[in-house]
Structure 1
Amino acid sequence: MDEPLSYFIKKFGFDISNIKRIVTGKKYSAVILRNGNIGVCANLLNRVELKKEDLKKIDLSDINHRIILNAYYNASLNYSNNEHQTGDIFEKINFETYENIVMLGLFKPILENFRKNKIKISVFDMLKEDRELVSMEDITDYVNKANAVILSSTTVFNNSFMNIVNNTGENCDIFLLGPSSIMNRDMFLYKNVKEIFGSVFEKNDERVLNVIENGYGTRKFLPFGGKIYLKSDLTQK
């Protein structure tokens, strides 16, 4: 199966005329469509300087194109599913039922919940620092042995998604997490993906775009959105 962005291009296409504006900042990029839908994607230290004209020919090997494309599908697909439910990952998933939990991409508020509830978790992140981070050299071994993986949705645009999910064991539940999440049921076609946790914003909310353009991240713009999740029919726990 194709990696997600390639898959979505083939299934839904990419209509550049549907984009009203592209906003880029230090931490995030955003796309607002002509219908007012807003999609976001983390930059992860990439400097994104693209205009609509640059996207007339999509290059999936270009990380900047992938970031904007991720935001585009975030905007075009996250509003279209009436099966979304409201909730936070730690409220909806009972992690005490898992023996071997791995987090790929450090989400500090989530990690604090694990610490507070004294639930063991192994955390990997290439770009951040924390006393509990495990060496990236061990990631394949940990992922292969995990029965629960909290996976940053930024792995879709940075093209590490397929390698990670395909390295998980047969009895593993993957939970995609973050405002970059593409909330579409076809994501459940990928191995072990059970639930997707993301965000959706009010249409035409300039506050979100202004925060991103001014270089801020999730702590500033997430209060303007709602935490939503999409559940696979195959979720076991």
Structure 2
Amino acid sequence: MRGGIETFGYNPDFQLKLLLIDIFAAVITNTDPKLPSLYSPHPVPAPSRALGLEQDSVLDSPLYGHRDLDGLLADLAFRGTEIRLLQSMRNLTLAAKEYTINAQDLLTGLRTTVSESDSDTSPLYRIIFHTSLIYSRLFNSPPIPLSSSLNMESRSILIEELESPVNDTTWLLYPGIFLWVLLVAAVATDGSPERAFLTQLFGKIVSVARWGWWREVRESMAVFLEMRRRAELTR
């Protein structure tokens, strides 16, 4: 983008969209963002309710935040097994970032959680389970790429479930988790026609993020890119 983002003039709303689309493109193509990471326009003031996003939406996810997910997700949307899977993914991310725990030890505990919940077939559980399965393989030794053929079944199920509107209300309340799901699915579907559908869903995240939580979105995507690159470097 010749001349940088400033060539578009002072239009914070449009600039925020460009910044987020830029890093999303970097994530799915495994390249560096083209726009400067230090550029920090002020978010556009949010109306009382922006595009359906709830004011008390939880931005925490396996990629963002340090609060324990048990207390944040303990409501009618997520059940115990789903919360344990999400917390396990958060623990894997933090362990890889901070080198505090051997990721292989965490994966051993995760396999126990998965084996205990094979009979759960709810749409939300299927999304969380198969996203977790694909994402956790990044931390195997050796790592399994997100786009590996070993993930073909899981990514097909993910696309099928994401095409259904049954969980739309949940994603409005937990956009951080939705972003994590979309990032994993988008990279896993590399080279497939479903990538366009996932990019369209990401556009909704961009539209809502400009109302004040774009930094959390950008940080989440940066962490995801870091996890992906670390895995590929250790193969």
| TM-score of the two chains, using structure 2 as the length reference | 0.30
Higher strand fraction (1 or 2):
1
Higher helix fraction (1 or 2):
2
